[in-house]
Amino acid sequence: MEPCFIGFPLPKGKLKNTESVRVRSKENSLPVQVKATSRYDDDSIRFLFLRFLTDIPANRSLTLECDLNGSETACDLLYHPVSVQAVPNGYVLQTASEEGTFSIALENHSDHLFKKITAAQQQFQNDCFAGPILQEAEQRSPYTLKTGTWEVAEEGPVCAILKTRGIHTSPDSDKQLEFEARITVWAGKPWAEVSYRLINTSPAPFTIQSLQYQIRRNDTETPARSCVANSNYKTAYQISENGEPVSRVIDAEWLMNEANEQFAEVYYGTFFADVTDEKAGICATVYQAHQNFPKALEADRNGINIMLVPEGAGTITMQSGMAREQKFLLHFHQPSESLESLNDRSIVYQMPYRPWTDPEVHQNSGVWPDIFTDQLNYKVEQSLVGKADAHSRAYGMLNFGDSYDPNYTAQGRGNGHLVWSNNEYDFPHACILLYVKTGIRRFLDYAIANCSHWMDVDVCHYHTDPLYIGGQWEHTAGHVINGVMVCSHQWVEGLLDYYHFTGDERGLETAIGIGRNIQRLLNTPAYAKVGEANARETGWALRTLTALYIETHDSDWLEKCDRIVNDFHVWEETYGHWLAPYTDNTLIRVGFMISVAIGSLIRYYRVFPSESLKQMILRQVDDLIENCYVKEWGIFYYKELPSLNRLGNNVLLLEALTAAYDLTGNSDYLTYGLETFKNAIKDAPGYTSAKWVEEDAVLIGKNSTKEFAKNMLPLAGYYRAVSESGMTIQ
């Protein structure tokens, strides 16, 4: 009865409520927990999210059925549901397993995350748990924590998640750092996930010397076995049968000297510590420890020390407004449970089972951009997959889930430092589009890893200027150093996808925060005069705000949408076309920026169609063809200015041509993109595993995530249109 989850879309009008949704295997109706993460404007369910328990067969596939109109309920013998009970000043989460009752008591405004845990027929009081204990560099006293009020984030028979927001303080510092904690419990399981998210809510950078969470045994006098285990292929155990200290540190040097051929967003290896005596055992697994180095574990007869930042293993400096979540699994077990069994649970925690639905489910829902085609061109499919896999990876607590951009770095934009992409062009959304098109699991894992980083590091959680709060930083050094926020570098579609596919409400909350930031920016003088900014600026803003309206149906998003659409009309009337300032005395056409605007306007048009908007889009595409297309070479130039009039190969123009085809059915529009398309699909870099250390990162590969993010929708949409029109690609 393994805990699983899945999210998928439904066609409009298909389902109004969740009461009759069931998941079935051949033998049983399975335990299931259902919620709607999005609805259409008629209140029917747009995205359905399911948590359920099922047996996973060894080395065989498993097909389950989701019945939207079921009646039977899960057999009570299959599982022990989770209960969430409000008690004075807190909550108690409880379930049962083969080892007996498993319960966690949480107390409001406490200096411990746990008040008490009952597991493996033992009770662990709050003095068994210490931390997280935060030590700032060059600071004498550590920062201790105080929780806030615990709240229910999600509740049901299969899974319960409680959350709190608290503070870290130190008697030697006037800084006050905030944190968020989440505790997740599953039905019938003797383990719980702890999520700890540190937020630098001080105006200065914060350098972490160490960050630890300690678990102490009830009886340190009795003999115990201590163990630390690490793997990327076969697990290596360090074991002391008499409770002597065993430890392992994961740092840059370790990663550089360890071979690993796996896609790290899916799995790198396991990393756990265990202490077991004659009464019970406690095992702690750190999630994606290698990817988020530095990390360390130590176990001895006294207990386990989880070093989320081990002292002396590298510098972690969190800039003001930066956050970062770290997660670990606490597994309470009987003394008879084998290390192999603990290792299995740890590996599954690192690489959980991910059910998936056929791409036809996504295609038939009508939710996604039209990227599906009945014809398969192997070169096109291989190119998309190759571009997705070839993105560079960056290991490091503040870096994993992002990539550095070699071009921006070489241009000197980071003043000699690495320039980080900060998920430019919405890499997670591109990954989700490829996932729903192919059903290939790793593209979902790519999106999850990058959204986790995006929500924490690439968004401003604290600032003295409200223009920054909630916004997404433009690509810059150190992710945020000397960073700015502009409308052209903030996205939300990937975050909304993340919410639908994981059920994590923080994806939606972060997306709304970005939208509010864009609204505030659009009120500033920089956007007051039509034509003063390039078409990309308000084009991306329109895409973001339209997506949020589709998601929430909140008309507040439309005020700025309507203004942007009207501004494009005025812009065209004023200058004849969407010309943008480049030098002080020159207005020029920038094809890919105009294409961004067209791609955003077509999204708005699908929600609010009008003949005037349709004709404006077509006029701008016609203008691109007339003035930016070099017919002698069959390709568009980069920018209209003579000093920048080189041949380009920006695939965003394909999105503009596809929009014109979709509006008219005229395949002539597609012919202007054939050379651009053929050049793009030939360029399919492969995955590399070459590594090097730079700044606080271990880097792999040199292709920014921006490249695939920019390519996915234009290439897939254009190819669908070409196939639909009957054209052939030689």
68 and 90 fall within a common domain: no
Q: Which two tokens stand for residue 210?
A: 């160490």
Q: Which two tokens stand for residue 511?
A: 């997306």
Q: Decide if 369 is inside a domain.
A: no
CB atoms within 10 A of CB 327: 19
Say whether pLDDT at 530 is over 80: no
Beta strand 316-318 with 206-216 is antiparallel
From the list 716, 649, 707, the residue with the least C-alpha distance to 423 is 707
70 and 170 fall within a common domain: no
Q: Averaged over 666-675, what is the pLDDT?
A: 96
Report, in this order, helix, strand and coil percent for the chain, each rounded to 5.
30, 30, 40
Q: Which two tokens stand for residue 247?
A: 């430890």
Say whether pLDDT at 641 is over 90: no
Q: How far apart are CA 275 and CA 73, in angstroms?
A: 39
Q: Decide if 268 is inside a domain.
A: yes
Q: How far apart are CA 673 and CA 651, in angstroms?
A: 9
β-bridge partners, 84: 93
Q: How far apart are CA 306 and CA 109, in angstroms?
A: 23
Percent of the chain with pLDDT strictly greater than 70: 98
pLDDT digits 0-9 by tens, 490-507: 999 999 999 999 999 999
Percent of the chain with pLDDT strictly greater than 90: 83
Q: How far apart are CA 399 and CA 490, in angstroms?
A: 19
DSSP 289: T
Q: Averaged over 39-52, what is the pLDDT?
A: 97
DSSP string, 170-217: -TT-S--EEEEEEEEEETT-SEEEEEEEEE--SSS-EEEEEEEEEEE-
DSSP 370: S
Residue finishing a domain among 303, 331, 350: 350
160 and 63 fall within a common domain: no
Say whether pLDDT at 566 is over 70: yes
Q: Averaged over 197-204, what is the pLDDT?
A: 96
User: Among 280-294, 563-577, 647-661, 678-692, whose mean pLDDT is lowest?
Assistant: 678-692
562 and 422 fall within a common domain: yes
Say whether pLDDT at 366 is over 80: yes
Please give the tally of structural domains in the chain: 3
pLDDT digits 0-9 by tens, 383-398: 999 999 999 999 999 9
Whether the ω angle into residue 132 lies within 30 degrees of 0, i.e. cis, is yes
435 and 478 fall within a common domain: yes
Q: Decide if 364 is inside a domain.
A: no
40 and 133 fall within a common domain: no
Orientation of helix 652-664 relative to helix 591-607, angle to 10°: 40
3-state secondary structure of 296: strand
Q: Decide if 401 is inside a domain.
A: yes
578 and 721 fall within a common domain: yes
Model pLDDT, residue 27: 76
496 and 557 fall within a common domain: yes
73 and 163 fall within a common domain: no
Q: Decide if 372 is inside a domain.
A: no
Model pLDDT, residue 590: 87
Q: Is residue 56 a contact partner of residue 352, using CB atoms and an 8 Å limit?
A: no
DSSP 704: -
Indicate the pLDDT class of residue 527, thresholds 50, 70 and 90. Answer: confident
Residue finishing a domain among 19, 50, 78: 78
The terminus-to-terminus CA distance of the chain in angstroms comes to: 51
- pLDDT top residue among 26 and 327: 327
Contacts 24+ apart (CB under 8 A), 685-692: 685/386, 685/387, 685/390, 686/386, 686/389, 686/390, 687/263, 687/389, 687/390, 688/390, 689/259, 689/260, 689/261, 691/255, 691/256
Q: Decide if 536 is inside a domain.
A: yes
Q: Where are the alpha helices (DSSP H) in 523-555?
A: 535-552
677 and 574 fall within a common domain: yes
DSSP 473: P
CATH number at residue 558: 1.50.10.10
69 and 94 fall within a common domain: no
Q: Decide if 362 is inside a domain.
A: no
Q: Averaged over 413-433, what is the pLDDT?
A: 96
Q: Is residue 54 a contact partner of residue 81, using CB atoms and an 8 Å limit?
A: no
Say whether pLDDT at 536 is over 90: no
Say whether pLDDT at 596 is over 70: yes
Say whether pLDDT at 720 is over 90: yes
Say whether pLDDT at 534 is over 70: no
Say whether pLDDT at 564 is over 80: yes
CATH number at residue 323: 2.70.98
601 and 700 fall within a common domain: yes
Question: Containing domain of residue 61, as a range?
Answer: 2-78
Model pLDDT, residue 375: 82
Q: Averaged over 416-440, what is the pLDDT?
A: 97
Residue finishing a domain among 26, 43, 78: 78
Say whether pLDDT at 532 is over 70: no
Say whether pLDDT at 224 is over 80: yes
Of 373-377, 529-533, 595-599, where does the model show the most confidence? 595-599
Q: Is residue 279 a contact partner of residue 335, using CB atoms and an 8 Å limit?
A: yes
